[in-house]
Structure 1
Amino acid sequence: MKALVIEEPNVAVVKEVPYPKPGAGGVTIKVENVGICGTDVHIFKGEFISPYPIIPGHEFSGVVHEVGENVTNVKVGDRVTADPSLFCGKCQYCLTHRGNQCENWGALGNTVSGSMAEFVSVPSENVVKLPDSLSFEVAAFIEPMACVVHGMNRLQLQVGDRVALFGAGAMGQQLVQSLKMAGASELVVIDISQKKLDMAINRGATKGVLSQDIAQLKEEYPHGFDVVVDATGIPQVIEQALEFMGPTAKYLQFGVTAEDANISISPFKLYNKDWTIIGSMAINHTFLPAFHWVKEGRIELESLVSKTLTLEETVEFFHSNRDPDLLKVQIKI
């Protein structure tokens, strides 16, 4: 089969690799759509925990092509997606509902071969059948939405909280809708793209601010916000975002940074202002809740796809500079 393989940092090729035949309890899926995640870009650049060579891709949809022994929950021809999480289920973290901190953590496209290929093999218990009403394009958003659900569970937003969100890309747009539904009052979004800010306002943000006008925002909100969320993963932006935390504020680090990135923070302010700093790593048993949210149309996703590429075009995309107006890019296999 054909697959995109990152052979080492900054080296990606499309080539023939062995077909992933399912083992007992496994399912092989013919991939239809794959979303390109910021984590995939970090893997390409050598900034994540992934081994090499690796087939990336962890947000996808497709059709069951083959099932292994003892598989009863799906059959050949079913339209599906799958939770890419590979938790051991036995360590102290898995046994205390903290699977995303599993001592043997793994995930499709992160630690083992993923979905930027014609076929991908997954454990049958990870597979979720799709209703006919859900397109392959939208179904490929269930995984990123599962990350959003985990982040929202970690944040525990209070109804009426005033929120500042840095980053209005595809993930930012999903966060805007989720924060609105969770009860945010003021929801100010900051980004470098006016087009993205306009979209965020249409989805529930109360104000959009261009990054170049951030000083003006500081004057408008001298006491900061109740909640600050970063969806960029850019250290300089993160340090800037921390400056908008008001007394007793919560900060959510949602965006993925390079593994060796560092920021500066005032420990006195952390102490003196009663701040809460929260991380949000991937998915933590939130794939099914995200599926239900998407299935019921609670989050508008279809218009977030800016571009669809082939596997070959994806190699070039990894090397290219990002258009600031670009939202989600998907691969059509």
Structure 2
Amino acid sequence: MKALTTDKNHKLVWTEIAEPQVVERTQVKVKIYGTGVCGTDINVLRGKMVAKAGMALGHEAVGTVVEVGENVTNYKVGDRVVIDPTQFCGKCDYCRQGLTCYCDHFDDYQLGIGCHGTYTKYYVGEEKFMYKIPDGMNWETAALVEPLACVLNIIKQANIQPEDNVLVLGSGTIGNLCQMVCKRIAKTTVGTEINTFRNEFSKQFNSDVYYPNELTMEKVLELTNGKKFNVIIDAVGNQLHNAVDFAAKGARLFAIGFMNDYEITINTLDYLTKGISLVGTGEEHLQMAPAMDYISSFKDIDKLITTKIPISEYEPAVNNLIDVENCKHMKVMLISENDENL
């Protein structure tokens, strides 16, 4: 079967890989409908994250069950499912403590990074990593469950309160989802975005989205009634250096974007005297079921998927996503070339 893989130079290749088969009693075979293009995929192509060469990329996947192992009890052929890509061994010390997102063998289990992902026709995985899509939920909404699960992990760790002011640096898909959830909790939610298309697009979900150069200290104090931000979320992966000046005393800073070459210098006295916390949230941590329940409460959330294209025609859209300043997409969904999808 055809799959979208990477070579040793981080370039995408549309090539043949072996079709996976159910070999364990607890496995499920899924015919992929489509997969959202994640910032993680784009960072692999930029060389800012590492994936094993020859592995099919992709992990924000939805599809239909076509085969189940003999011990599978929760799913049957014909069920529509979302696949949880943040998988784990279940045996290491961290997994046994319930910290599955910090699995010692993380890289071996992550779809599209250490094992085959879902930019292809079929995927086979364990039943425990599947979540049934409710009747009436469209494919596009279901494809956003995994990104929302990542966001819920952040929000819960941030412990956002009704009186808080929140700043989200970056208004891509994750940044928008952060803002959508925070607007339901916090007093003030502000976003930034450098890209013109995404800046304007994001205003339909949050009117307080600014270009970074518009967010002066004067503007911050106006928006927060002189109190700065209690929570700052870097949804890009390279913006935390812009956070400290805007942080209130006792602020919580969250790094959630993945870029292996980004570093910041911390003045420890500033963090000590202002009581600022810097938190790395890790991967999505057992939030798929809550996200599946929660996502239907957001009207028109599927609008975040602005582009759907056959997977073999990936090149123009993916190349545009790599071009940060000129990108004309929010979320791109690559549709697998199964007959019923075309």
The residue that corresponds to 1:228 in the other structure is 232
The residue that corresponds to 2:101 in the other structure is 100
Give distance in 2, aligned partners of 1:46 and 1:191: 22
User: What does 1:93-242 correspond to in 2, within 5 Å?
Assistant: 93-105=94-106, 106-181=109-184, 183-193=185-195, 196-203=198-205, 205=206, 207-215=208-216, 216-218=218-220, 220=222, 224-234=228-238, 237-242=239-244
The code of the aligned residue for 1:10 comes to H
Asked whether the 8 Å contact 1:8–1:46 carries over to 2, the reply is no
**Secondary structure, aligned partner of 1:312:** helix
- What is the Cα deviation at residue 10 of structure 1? 2.7
TM-score (norm 1): 0.91
**Secondary structure, aligned partner of 1:52:** coil
Q: Percent identity?
A: 27
Give distance in 1, aligned partners of 2:196 and 2:42: 24
Asked whether the 8 Å contact 1:166–1:189 carries over to 2, the reply is yes
The code of the aligned residue for 1:310 comes to P
Aligned residues: 327
- Shift in alpha-carbon separation, 1:238–1:299, aligned structure 2, 3 A: farther
The residue that corresponds to 1:2 in the other structure is 2
The residue that corresponds to 1:88 in the other structure is 89
Asked whether the 8 Å contact 1:9–1:45 carries over to 2, the reply is no
Give distance in 1, aligned partners of 2:242 and 2:69: 50
The code of the aligned residue for 1:33 comes to G
The residue that corresponds to 2:15 in the other structure is 15
Give distance in 2, aligned partners of 1:122 and 1:198: 39
The residue that corresponds to 1:250 in the other structure is 252
Asked whether the 8 Å contact 2:32–2:63 carries over to 1, the reply is yes
Are residue 329 (structure 1) and residue 332 (structure 2) matched? yes
What CA deviation, in whole Å up to 9, does each residue of 1:237-264 have, x standing for no partner? 321123211111111112222x132112
Asked whether the 8 Å contact 2:5–2:55 carries over to 1, the reply is yes
- What is the Cα deviation at residue 212 of structure 1? 2.5
**Secondary structure, aligned partner of 1:75:** coil
Give distance in 2, aligned partners of 1:319 and 1:58: 18
**Secondary structure, aligned partner of 2:41:** helix
Asked whether the 8 Å contact 1:155–1:250 carries over to 2, the reply is yes
Give distance in 2, aligned partners of 1:41 and 1:202: 25
- Segments of 5+ residues of structure 1 without an aligned counterpart are none
- Segments of 5+ residues of structure 2 without an aligned counterpart are 337-342
Asked whether the 8 Å contact 1:192–1:324 carries over to 2, the reply is no
What CA deviation, in whole Å up to 9, does each residue of 1:256-293 have, x standing for no partner? 22x13211222111111000111122211111111111
- Shift in alpha-carbon separation, 1:194–1:260, aligned structure 2, 3 A: closer
Give distance in 2, aligned partners of 1:9 and 1:150: 32
- Shift in alpha-carbon separation, 1:5–1:196, aligned structure 2, 3 A: closer
Structure 1 vs Structure 2 CA RMSD? 2.0
Give distance in 2, aligned partners of 1:300 and 1:174: 12
Asked whether the 8 Å contact 1:174–1:299 carries over to 2, the reply is no
What CA deviation, in whole Å up to 9, does each residue of 1:89-122 have, x standing for no partner? 1222112221100111122112110000011111
TM-score (norm 2): 0.89
**Secondary structure, aligned partner of 1:86:** coil
Indicate the larger mover: 194-203 or 322-331.
Answer: 194-203
Asked whether the 8 Å contact 1:186–1:206 carries over to 2, the reply is no
Asked whether the 8 Å contact 2:49–2:258 carries over to 1, the reply is no
- Shift in alpha-carbon separation, 1:307–1:202, aligned structure 2, 3 A: closer
The residue that corresponds to 2:61 in the other structure is 60
Asked whether the 8 Å contact 2:197–2:329 carries over to 1, the reply is no
- Shift in alpha-carbon separation, 1:98–1:116, aligned structure 2, 3 A: same
**Secondary structure, aligned partner of 2:215:** helix
